[in-house]
């Protein structure tokens, strides 16, 4: 059970797609920094979120707010705060950063 963090925009980097291909059923992906652009409901990458229901997707609330994406998120993404981020790190066996 791995928590993957993706901090690059999917429009300029392949990290999210590479990460999804390597995920197993019990893994989670946390979108942070510019990675949160992938969780927009009408984004090119929304199919990746919807078609991978075996992966839990999260996005950091502070980064969503900073980029003006509040209310524009795909339903597959759970918005979390910093405390929940720490909880996710503790609950998962390891954390893998993609950048």
Question: Which helix (H) or strand (E) covers residue 22, if one does?
Answer: helix 15-22
> In sequence order, which residues have a C-beta less than 8 Å from that of residue 21 and are 6 or more positions away?
none
User: What is this structure's pTM?
Assistant: 0.91
Q: In a 3-state reduction of DSSP, which class is residue 4?
A: strand
Please determine, for residue 79, whether its predicted confidence score (pLDDT) is greater than 70: yes
Number of structural domains (the chain) is: 1
Query: Which residue has tokens 């994406």?
Result: 69
Query: If DSSP codes are grouped into helix, strand and coil, which group holds residue 37?
Result: helix
Condensed to tens digits (0 to 9), the pLDDT of residues 50-75 reads 777 789 999 999 999 999 999 999 88
| CATH number of the domain enclosing 27 | 3.40.1260.10
Range of the domain at 92: 2-98
Dihedral of alpha carbons 8, 14, 18, 20, sign: positive
> Residue 44 — pLDDT band, cuts 50, 70, 90?
confident
């Amino acid at each position: 059970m791995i928590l993957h963090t993706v901090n690059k925009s999917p429009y300029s980097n392949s990290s999210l797609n590479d990460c999804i291909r390597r995920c197993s059923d019990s893994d989670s992906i946390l979108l942070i920094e510019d990675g949160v652009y992938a969780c927009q409901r009408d984004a090119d990458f929304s199919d990746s979120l919807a078609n991978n229901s075996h992966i839990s997707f999260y996005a950091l609330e502070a980064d969503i707010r900073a980029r003006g994406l509040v209310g524009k998120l795909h339903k597959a993404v759970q918005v979390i705060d910093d405390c929940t981020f720490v909880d996710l790190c503790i609950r998962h066996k390891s954390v893998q950063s993609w950048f």
